[in-house]
Chain A
């Protein structure tokens, strides 16, 4: 048996889009291994998430529901994933390298005594052997690795695996037993979640991203938001802008922030530090607007505009609006 288990991500009872990227990996890996893939949905009140997961072509959707799983805690979720993987003779456990996957999957791997290939951007198959391409050194090198343990744990970079479409079929849904957590679970308590509410698309999923740098200062939102609105874009920021408090930390694009690869990325007042480039170099079309003609961002930009952003960005917003009638 060589089957793949997708660890789904659910929030407020619904399936998160991150899951669909892991499913794309699972389809490729299961085909190479000659096996099937299942999707594991964990939580409390996740029937809607399970129903949605059942449209994604899995052999089975497994649901682990329990009141104790209502809020995500790695200490409680990892034993559930590990137990299902062991009991079902799973060969590859995969999730997406979102905040959730990055927190959970290494814990799962340790519990399974398995190797963990993180944040992979490609799957290379030779017969039934799986090799993983993963970025290192802020995306300045790519390593090709394999995992040498009977069970492998993998996280995929969301922007590198297109979201899986519905298959047209309905997968059977099966409830699974909830594994008992270890002592660690008794010593961690969820206190609160301070959610940044936004009506914009999520950064990692947006087709267009407009990012601002420190140069915007207190006018960050005043300059960036209208352009993002007219483009239907998600808003991102450089580390410097986040550190200075001009933008919230979860908007940070970069090696250690969000990794994005939209159709269009507009960098406003961003100099282009290596750590920032690592988070957006995969974008299809990159536009940079910066006063400094020597800024490194221009080296990766398809279209560079050397201009004062406080006049250029409002003008750009106006002209895009006008061009659309």
Chain B
């Protein structure tokens, strides 16, 4: 199976409360925050690796995992890290972040999919900076492919994937015949979430994503990393969503510590009037 994984780098999501809005309100300043791979995209890569291996012998790839990102030269670090973890090949679409929106990324990915002809496109359900949650769905529509979003489980079948989706009120299971687009949710990296045809159903993965060993990091430098110009993928680089300004969230007034349960109940009743 050939899988294309779309990866985005984001400002450290565990310190997202440290983003600053300058007084001009013309941008969101993430200076000082480390770049990290978008967590959901990291999970998508892990799912792609699990789908292209026998869980018992994960070093041998049964198929190909190609990773792609959109960004300037330094985003190649994100790709190299993915190659070190096990991806076979990487593509960087050269562009600056602020000249992108979800629709443009989906258009460009469509052209890339037509070149690469993967069986599956995998990505996170959303990037945790823009929080838009749209590229996977848009790409599937542009390709006229079936999709399964918010995947918590994936089982490979002959020519298809059986996907458990996290939806309101439970888990909905879809069968998508390939090629298809799948976007992943948090629990896709649980020990029994993803099974390729090769992996025994009794196999349990370690919880979370795998880490690259030092030899793999060295070897990743020799893996192919191609650069593609955005203009080679889509002639239309216009943005459909335009930002006019940014503001910080409304501040909450400082709260108090109550001394005991009785104090809490009294305040909820008399002060906050919510009981």
Interface residues of A (CB under 8 A from B): 73-75, 78, 98-100, 102-107, 109-111, 114-119, 131, 134-149, 182-185, 187-196, 202, 204, 208, 239, 242-243, 249-250, 252, 255-256, 263-264, 273-275, 277, 281, 284-287, 293, 298, 300-307, 312, 315-316, 319-320, 323-324
Contact = CB atoms under 8 A, between A and B. Distances in A.
B21 A141 contact: yes
Main secondary structure of the interface of A (DSSP, over half): mixed
27 contacts: A75-B147, A106-B138, A107-B138, A116-B103, A135-B249, A136-B131, A138-B128, A141-B21, A141-B247, A141-B249, A144-B245, A144-B247, A184-B141, A184-B145, A187-B180, A190-B172, A191-B175, A195-B170, A204-B168, A250-B166, A250-B170, A256-B125, A256-B126, A286-B255, A301-B255, A303-B257, A316-B264
Contacts of A298: 255, 257
Contact of A316 (B143, B162, B253, B261): B261
A304 B247 contact: no
B137 A103 contact: yes
Nearest to B269: A323
Interface of B: 11, 13-17, 19, 21, 28, 40, 101-103, 106, 125-126, 128-150, 152, 162, 166-177, 180, 185-187, 190, 238-249, 252-253, 255-258, 260-262, 264-265, 267-269, 272, 274-275
A92 to B, nearest CB: 14
Contact of A98 (B126, B168, B175): B168
Contact of B28 (A137, A239, A255): A137
Nearest to A103: B149
Nearest to A254: B186
B255 A304 contact: yes
Contacts of A242: 186-187
A136 B103 contact: no
A142 B247 contact: yes
Given A110-B142, A255-B128, A146 B249 contact: no
A118 B132 contact: yes
Listed residue (B140, B142, B190) with the most chain A CB atoms within 10 angstroms of its CB: B140
A40 to B, nearest CB: 18
Nearest to B145: A184
Contacts of A184: 140-141, 143-147
A303 B255 contact: yes
A191 B167 contact: no
Given A100-B168, A109-B103, A298-B257, A255 B150 contact: no
B265 A135 contact: no
A211 to B, nearest CB: 16
Contact of A136 (B15, B130, B138): B130
B131 A135 contact: yes
A148 B168 CA distance: 31
Given A75-B146, A285-B274, A303-B272, A116 B172 contact: no
Contact of B240 (A75, A114, A284): A114
